[in-house]
Structure 1
Amino acid sequence: MASIDVVIPNYNYGRYLEACVNSVLSQDIAEVRVLIVDNASTDDSTDVAKRLAAADRRVELLLRPKNLGPHASFNAGIDWARADYFLLLFADDFLVPGALHRATTVMEQDRGIAFCYGRDVAIQGNVAIPEIEPQPTSPPVRLMTGRAFIERFCRLGVFQIPGPSIIVRTSAQKRAGHYRPTLPHSDDYELWLRLALHGTVAELDCVQAGIRSHDANRSTELWAHQILHIRHTADAAESFFYHEGRWLDGAEMLRRRARRGIAERAYWSAVSHVLRGNGEAWKLLMLAFSMAPATAVLPPLGYLLHRPDTMSRMRSLLAKVWR
């Protein structure tokens, strides 16, 4: 049986912590450990964490007296991990039933897989975790080489994968290393690119995790201001190709492709903002033109053909404009 270590970083998410931990402990997998890393929370997080650890020996605690920032928590978890597989799960998110068994079964069957991920379900605010429709025990799996995964990111300028669903082979995580503090808002993107250097990537066609949206999310401001998210994505790409990615065959071509993909994403985000009457559109266009001057002359129509969600996004946007 495969074993898995789950790290749950926490800061003032005491109201979500128990549900998150229970979503892990209730998984149908024999060997699981949970490490709660609390970053000097000022709410009742430490009381909740101590109660959970007292009730289940699989729960371990790292309660910091001083807030060292999120990267210290992430990287302490990587150092702590010793199981076959590793998951970083934020305290406000959760796993759906069977998620760990589905992921580890796929990865046990193919030892070349560095990490796998599935789809997510979104919930809003402080509501309880909803009843999730049972997912298939053996879902369809799409395999990509690590290079294909990197090329897809470069083409689209974005990752369309939910972080809480990413199960990593611990040996690949150790080789890829730590999260980089120099990337405060796109550290995960850059690390996923590094992980892809160490094996195949598996995409599971099922719901694996839940993501909770609320005002205290660290990514809330970024998604509210799309230009910030796009700029941070560009930072992640530049960091990757400056460090480990520089040794890839055709690295400079890929770096330029990533820059163009991010610019094309900014262009179409600007179009979307125009249709919604959002004043950020001009800034997005200027960003697109600065990164890929050709977009000022020719609309990057090819970009839309590569995004699998183009039609659904267009229908949603047009419906909003019509209303």
Structure 2
Amino acid sequence: MRFHRPAPITSRPRVSVVIPCYRYGHYLPGAVASALDQDMLDVDVLVVDDASPDDSALVARELAARDPRVDVLVHEQNAGHIQTYNDGLAKASGDYVVLLSADDLLPPNSLTRAVALMEAHPRVGLVYGFARSFTDAPEPVDDVTRSWTVWQGHDWLSRSARAGRCFLSSPEAVMRREALFETDLYDPRLPHSGDFDMWLRTAARWDVGRVNGPIQAHYRVHDANMHLTTYAGWLTDLEARRLTFDILFDERAPGDPRVAALRPTAKRALAREALRRARHVARDEAAMDVADDYVRFALETWPSITGSSAWHATRVSLAGGNHRRAGTVRRQASRVRDHLVWRRERRWGV
């Protein structure tokens, strides 16, 4: 990992922004406008409407009629979000590519900041930053970049394996087009973790960069978010991450011993997280079946977890009895740990 002083763009690169849309026509004007609000870049936007039953396609066509930088692709039949992503990305022709959900927003010049890093570091295939969630309106953005971080791909991959998860939300990600097409786009086997798979595959071949300081994307939280509806549940998320890591180790980089060596690290991290979540839900007697599911997941993922202190603590929590005070202390320690992790990732991205 190396820190670098930010440098301005000296050329005028082209960035293709793909905006998949399904029944989000009311969000489209904001998303498109935010993507185009970038200095020192030539930005083109492609809205891909997945046969929305509302007026989303009409809204997209009206936006395209008003601005030649905007184009529209409309599916005649609903194809699902993975195919929608891939249909749009396959048409991207810019030097850099962004996938922006129709309900999310990009701050002014966020793409400029990310592209500046990649222009200065040709081996960087993926750049991200801090994505701030919002509900009604995003907060104002301080656009001062404090520094750039550049990791060798394997270093970033190793950190992701140790955490057992992804460090990106998605709208803050900017990819070099060559890196994007080396990944073969989104994998339909991973409807819940396709983004994570994309970042892992990229890090296996390219370096990874981060813009430190400003908010690089606004992630909208609402009742229709896919992660809160179709794929709700932490256990589902854990299972998807396990499958994503398995595909990485078995298919993405099977000939790279450095990547293969990360398998036990990732499995151990996932098992430990499952036990933490089992201890959390065990506070509610009505959720004991869910706690047992987490324990089973941990055992399947990393059988050696039974020799750990985390396993003992989980068995104590599930047994109940006279361990309430100890459980309270563990919960307080867990909250402190989670807050420190959040602060570190907010500042440095890993």
TM-score normalised per structure 1: 0.88
| Match runs of 1:108-119 below 5 Å | 108-119=119-130
The one-letter code of the counterpart of 1:48 is: V
Q: Is the 8 A contact 1:34 1:60 kept in 2?
A: yes
| 2:10 is equivalent to residue 2 of structure 1 | no
Which residue in 2 is equivalent to 1:321?
none
Which residue in 1 is equivalent to 2:37?
26
Q: Is the 8 A contact 2:141 2:215 kept in 1?
A: no
Match of residue 161, structure 1, among 165, 168, 174: 168
Q: Is the 8 A contact 2:16 2:45 kept in 1?
A: yes
Alpha-carbon distance change, 103 to 250 in structure 1, aligned in 2, over 3 angstroms = closer
Query: C-alpha distance in 2, partners of 1:22/1:314?
Result: 33
Query: C-alpha distance in 1, partners of 2:77/2:306?
Result: 49
1:285 to partner: Cα distance: 2.0
1:73 to partner: Cα distance: 1.5
Alpha-carbon distance change, 197 to 252 in structure 1, aligned in 2, over 3 angstroms = closer
Query: C-alpha distance in 1, partners of 2:16/2:176?
Result: 10
Percent of paired sites with the same residue: 31
Q: Is the 8 A contact 1:190 1:240 kept in 2?
A: yes
Alpha-carbon distance change, 237 to 21 in structure 1, aligned in 2, over 3 angstroms = same
Query: C-alpha distance in 2, partners of 1:272/1:21?
Result: 40
Which residue in 1 is equivalent to 2:89?
78
1:158 to partner: Cα distance: 0.5
Which residue in 2 is equivalent to 1:215?
223
Q: Is the 8 A contact 2:268 2:305 kept in 1?
A: no
- Deviation larger for 246-255 or 97-106: 246-255
| 2:337 is equivalent to residue 310 of structure 1 | yes
The one-letter code of the counterpart of 1:66 is: Q
Which residue in 1 is equivalent to 2:245?
237
Which residue in 2 is equivalent to 1:47?
58
Alpha-carbon distance change, 226 to 100 in structure 1, aligned in 2, over 3 angstroms = same
Which residue in 1 is equivalent to 2:347?
none
Query: C-alpha distance in 1, partners of 2:253/2:62?
Result: 43
> 3-state SS of the aligned residue for 1:247?
coil
Q: Is the 8 A contact 1:115 1:168 kept in 2?
A: yes
Which residue in 2 is equivalent to 1:318?
none
Query: C-alpha distance in 2, partners of 1:70/1:54?
Result: 25
Match of residue 183, structure 1, among 187, 190, 201: 190
- Deviation larger for 53-62 or 256-265: 256-265
> 3-state SS of the aligned residue for 1:28?
coil
| Match runs of 1:67-146 below 5 Å | 67-124=78-135, 127=136, 129-136=137-144, 138-146=145-153
The one-letter code of the counterpart of 2:266 is: A
Which residue in 2 is equivalent to 1:63?
74
1:275 to partner: Cα distance: 4.7
Q: Is the 8 A contact 1:156 1:265 kept in 2?
A: no
- Structure 1's unaligned 5+ residue stretches are 316-323
Query: C-alpha distance in 1, partners of 2:52/2:258?
Result: 45
Query: C-alpha distance in 2, partners of 1:272/1:148?
Result: 31
Q: Deviations over 1:281-310 (max 9, x none)?
A: 232122112212232331359xx9xx9x83
Query: C-alpha distance in 1, partners of 2:286/2:153?
Result: 37
Match of residue 308, structure 2, among 295, 298, 303: 298
Alpha-carbon distance change, 314 to 255 in structure 1, aligned in 2, over 3 angstroms = closer
Query: C-alpha distance in 1, partners of 2:40/2:270?
Result: 39
The one-letter code of the counterpart of 2:73 is: L
Query: C-alpha distance in 2, partners of 1:17/1:277?
Result: 44
Which residue in 2 is equivalent to 1:283?
293
Match of residue 235, structure 2, among 227, 230, 247: 227
1:200 to partner: Cα distance: 0.8
1:313 to partner: Cα distance: 7.0
1:50 to partner: Cα distance: 0.9
The one-letter code of the counterpart of 1:91 is: A
Match of residue 272, structure 2, among 264, 276, 279: 264
Q: Deviations over 1:201-260 (max 9, x none)?
A: 012223100111122222114774111100011111111212122121244332222222
Query: C-alpha distance in 1, partners of 2:184/2:280?
Result: 37
| 2:284 is equivalent to residue 273 of structure 1 | no
The one-letter code of the counterpart of 2:273 is: R
Query: C-alpha distance in 1, partners of 2:207/2:161?
Result: 17
Match of residue 155, structure 2, among 148, 153, 158: 148
- The alignment yields a C-alpha RMSD, in angstroms, of 2.4
Which residue in 2 is equivalent to 1:254?
262
The one-letter code of the counterpart of 1:294 is: S
What is the count of residue pairs matched by the alignment?
307
Which residue in 2 is equivalent to 1:320?
none
Alpha-carbon distance change, 300 to 98 in structure 1, aligned in 2, over 3 angstroms = farther
Alpha-carbon distance change, 89 to 296 in structure 1, aligned in 2, over 3 angstroms = same
> 3-state SS of the aligned residue for 2:309?
coil
Task: Name which one, 1 or 2, has greater alpha-carbon Rg.
Answer: 2
Query: C-alpha distance in 2, partners of 1:276/1:56?
Result: 54
